[in-house]
Chain A
Amino acid sequence: MRMQFNIYRYDPESGKPPCMQAYELDFDPRGRKVLDVLMALKEVDETLAFRRSCREGVCGSDGVNVNGRNVLACITPLEGLRQPITVRPLPRLPVIRDLIVDMSQFFQHYRAVKPYLINLDPEPESERLQSPAERAELDGLWECILCACCTTSCPSFWWNPERFLGPSALMQGYRFIADSRDQAADERLDYLEDPYRLFRCHGIMNCVEYCPKGLNPTAAIGKIKSLLVKRAL
């Protein structure tokens, strides 16, 4: 089947402005994903640059914008996509080249929420135990693969990318606030109680719409707000 594509191209070394490049390719879309076709296009045009690694929706490295939606190229079926299929880099992050974006800002926000267990008790012999209910609190949070599909689809992040942490980092922040083994919940909430870091979230819910893992960052952000209210009252 003859398929048509429009791919965002940018090579900073060429000195030319970014542009959309049209491609046509004989490709059978049945059972194939967007990443398959990107790899096939790279066979034709080896200057095309994009990130990919696990090709099964686990590593989170091939987040791209396909026909206006942020998706993981490796798990997005080609069938059903309107042609020409338009592939752009994730919105609002600086483009390094073609579909490769600079994730520094995204990971800076991730680091800011201290995404690790803070527990000053002496380390136990084997492990820090949790009850099944305490462990269940973390479901729907730990599965985040940091692909940035949610954060880069969030208008609040578009307007204040330096100061609003974004849905992914906030959900990771809550993942450790909710962890029964963590002892720094207050310190974490102190950091988040700010008009920018957390409260730029207006519940637009693009993050929920676009999360390729089916997670709900808006709910996690809501739980942080509830905790802040409980703490304040």
Chain B
Amino acid sequence: MNVTIVDYQSGNISSVINSFTEVAKGKVNIEVTSDIKKIKSSDKIVLPGQGSFKSCVDSLNSINGLVNTLKEFAITNKKPLLGICVGLQMFADIGYEEAETRGLGWITGKVSKIDNQKGKFKLPHIGWNEIEIQKESKIFKDIKNKSHMYFVHSYEFIPEDKAVISAITDYSSKIVCAVEKDNLFGTQFHPEKSDKIGLKIIDNFLKL
């Protein structure tokens, strides 16, 4: 099996590479590339994302043919794709970080700044928080409800169809922290930084 981590200059993806390599341990081939041909021929895709919504979308768009290739992979061919952090946020139609920016539009919804109740909650939301599982998700196999995951973000994905939400977390309000829609998976938290439990989520994705 070939799994591609999309490298589109979206900031620091070393931790994503390290953790997937650790879990794959030679059984699964992990590619790190933005090469369209390689992406097309892979079995699964990981779409990381760091920095702002706008900078990530701009970086994706700057690589000729990448957005269409990802769309063909995930939407037309319905092959498994995991978005992490801003990688998940970009599933939305629109984001408001830095400037109003169009997202990939794969799951109807928007990405807005977390309402921190006038400074009552510090932003970014950094650290370990419990996830509250909302529905059975293939990537949550053997993951206990209320497990701790590592977060670092100031914006949240608000999908229109609540049925896509697979987990939420509590920070000033109930924030969407994982989604599953058919073959599309996304986590707002960083499984690659969430210790053994996070590696288990990666393992679940690789075993899909």
Whether A and B are associated in the same complex: the answer reads: no
Seen from chain B, the residues whose Cβ lies within 8 Å of a Cβ on chain A are none
Seen from chain A, the residues whose Cβ lies within 8 Å of a Cβ on chain B are none
